[in-house]
Amino acid sequence: MCGIAGYFSIASESTLGRYVLEKMIYPVTHRGPDGLGFYVGDGVGFAHARLSIVDLEGGWQPIHNEDKRLWVVFNGEIFNYIELRRELEELGHRFYTNSDTEVIVHLYEEEKEKCLDKLNGQFAIALYDSHEETLFLARDRMGIRPFFYTIHKGVFYFASEVKSLFASDKAIPREIDSSVLKEIFTFWTPCGSETVFRGIHQLEPGCCANVSCNGGIQIREYWDIPFGAAGSHNERRNANSYAEELRELLVDSVRLRLRADVPVGAYLSGGLDSSAITSLVRHYTDNPLKTFSVTFDDSVYDEQAEQAEMVRYLATDHHVEHCTYEKIGQTFPDVIWHTETPILRTAPTPLYLLSSLVQRKNYKVVLTGEGADEILGGYDIFKEAKIRAFIKRNADSHIRPLLLKRLYPYLALSPTKSAEYARKFFDTDASEDELFYAHLPRWRTTRGTEIFFSDRLKEEGRNLLEKLEEKYAGKLEGLDYFSRAQYLESKLLLGNYLLSSQGDRMAMAHSIEGRFPFLDHRVVEYACTIPPELRMKVLNEKNILKKAMVTLLPPKIVQRKKQPYMAPDILSFFGAKEADYLDFYLASRAVRDAGFFNPKAVGRLVDKCRKKSRQGFRENMAFVGILSTQIIYEKFVRNFQIDFPQRLDNIKIIS
């Protein structure tokens, strides 16, 4: 696990060399504090910051094949490298390390880009073929590891984080792309390959690319989440049989993800998913179990009781990070330096604090339960869609809308006290054939934040839903509304937000690698074969997962009502002590200079926050979104600064 960076001249005679690579890799040494490695070739350069996890002695990168024709830098893990290595050795390949990285160059030699079909892992890969003078890039199927790139003056730059791109050359434009900013204020994330920085792209999950002087960049999707068309699932197979096979797959996925030459811990939230993973580790492996949790003061967010139940049940060596409002508020600007994108929730912050705890305990790797809600049907938004469709089937019923009331009981702000309102808020008259049926109510609420936009921003950009439709209509064709909702949630929320802003970035900020057993592609592909009505049986979410785990978890954990992971938003900044930087980012002048929001409206929002009265979804999202945008603008656009040392003295340099 690591940070990577590099350049490749596609239409430029300029030779950049080692110094540029040092400037690029230095800002991401939190991703790989154990040492740096470089490769400089003709018109190409790779840099690597290493977090040593597999083959501690020998696994330094960049790594080459036997005749040094192929060079690779790679961030991530290939979990099935032992099996792949055996096959490759039988084919005559000679290895000079024991690392998983080396498998990539030999496998690429054999299979070219088809090698991706064989990789079980989480990865961002850059591979240079010095004979063909081409660059091959790839990103894992679900988007666990990041990969950003840009082209400037004929040079293709890539890196694990955007800050490396900006550090490579001061002349690279640093601008906020207003239309992407608007996407974030509706969908919670950018919805395509664009980032909030104009001209900076991500290689999307499940995609690979070839870059060459003649051909430019050719991007291809090599894998996608295979939700089958409505009616294509095997309806005769019973739930228990589905559950049994799911458990077997998860056991194998967990086993593979414990492969490391350092100890592996686990996050334990107290919910079903992380409890399931932790329990599988306990029951099916002899890995010593260290677990980590966040706790909160406020019972709306806190899950201490459930965590304690699991710790007792599995007898783990447990460690807790207690998140106060103040701590979340104080840490938030640092968090945004790492998310590198505006966000509408503070929820990544506690995970940033948690990875710091893991680091202090000298752990480098943790398993987490991320992904189960998307692929196995856990989210309230799926349940909400089912209830809405159920209400529509009998529109005159006064009882059916009350089901919505049962859906959000954990919220202090129940939106569904009144059946009449419930029907309006949740748009129960809409048809389930609508392409984005499940998501439209949420997007409409989120989009309410645009009342804070400046006039300039309000006028700019194109129709967001049209853009989304262009991108996804083909993918969603033939799918039932439940699978459509799962697909979109996996692409937008999971791929672009949970795995990045809340996942990779928060963990890597403290040199911690997350591993995600639910996101083993075999598990994902299998989950897609389960009929939608079994994924959520009536309103019982993650029905098959619960069945799979029922003998391995305390009944309370299996039966408990789902509590979504959230953190306090506005409250974090206006507690007993107001965060001291608020004025710096939100003062009328700062807001006007940045140009994205209406200073007067923002001022009134801040006044409202100070009153500490009840705040709605819209105000919470707007506040966190505005503040994080202002921080992004300050730290990345107006005043981007990396304190690059004269010499990289304190860092071990391998090559």
Partner 1 sequence: MSDETIRQIRSFIFENFLFDAADEDLKNDDSFLEQGVIDSTGVLELVDWLEESFGISVDDEELMPENLDSVNNLTRFIAKKLMADS
Which residues of this chain interact with partner 1, rule CB under 8 A? 413-418, 420-421, 424-425, 444-445, 448, 451-452, 598, 600-601, 604-605, 608, 613-618
**Min CB(608)–partner 1 separation in Å:** 6
Q: Label each residue of 384-403 as H, E or C.
A: HHHHHHHHHHCCCCCCCCHH
Provide the 8-state DSSP code for 228: P
Give the start-end residues of each E strand in 120-279: 121-129, 134-139, 148-152, 155-159, 201-202, 207-212, 216-221, 264-267
Does residue 337 contact residue 308 with C-beta atoms inside 8 Å?
Answer: no
**Min CB(302)–partner 1 separation in Å:** 21
Nearer to partner 1, 444 or 556 (CB): 444
Nearer to partner 1, 112 or 424 (CB): 424
**Min CB(185)–partner 1 separation in Å:** 14
**Min CB(426)–partner 1 separation in Å:** 8
For 418, residues 6+ apart whose C-beta sits below 8 A from its C-beta are none
Classify burial at 587, counting beta carbons within 10 Å of its beta carbon; exposed 0-12, middle 13-18, buried 19 or more. middle
* Euclidean distance between CA atoms 374 and 487, whole angstroms: 8
**Min CB(178)–partner 1 separation in Å:** 19
User: Tokens 């990577």 appear where?
Assistant: 4
Q: Label each residue of 570-620 as H, E or C.
A: HHHCECCCECCCHHHHHCHHHHHHHCCECHHHHHHHHHHHHCCCCCCHHHH
**Min CB(441)–partner 1 separation in Å:** 9
Nearer to partner 1, 199 or 564 (CB): 564
Nearer to partner 1, 110 or 420 (CB): 420
Single out the residue of 66, 71, 4, 75 nearest to residue 39, CA to CA.
71
Nearer to partner 1, 287 or 414 (CB): 414
Nearer to partner 1, 74 or 623 (CB): 623
**Min CB(445)–partner 1 separation in Å:** 5
**Min CB(153)–partner 1 separation in Å:** 42
Nearer to partner 1, 436 or 526 (CB): 436
**Min CB(398)–partner 1 separation in Å:** 11
**Min CB(415)–partner 1 separation in Å:** 3
**Min CB(618)–partner 1 separation in Å:** 5
Q: Which amino acid is it at 449?
A: T
Nearer to partner 1, 36 or 626 (CB): 626
Nearer to partner 1, 131 or 611 (CB): 611
Three-class DSSP category at 70: strand
Which tokens go with 49? 């910051």
Nearer to partner 1, 40 or 605 (CB): 605
Residue 179 C-beta-side C-alpha neighbours within 13 Å: 14
Nearer to partner 1, 252 or 450 (CB): 450
Nearer to partner 1, 94 or 444 (CB): 444
* Maximum C-alpha span of the chain: 74
Does residue 224 contact residue 170 with C-beta atoms inside 8 Å?
Answer: no
Three-class DSSP category at 40: strand
Classify burial at 654, counting beta carbons within 10 Å of its beta carbon; exposed 0-12, middle 13-18, buried 19 or more. middle
* Euclidean distance between CA atoms 149 and 215, whole angstroms: 17
Provide the 8-state DSSP code for 261: S
190-332-28-63 Cα dihedral, nearest 10 degrees: -60
**Min CB(598)–partner 1 separation in Å:** 5
CA distances from 107 to 89, 169, 310 (A): 10, 34, 42
Classify burial at 475, counting beta carbons within 10 Å of its beta carbon; exposed 0-12, middle 13-18, buried 19 or more. middle
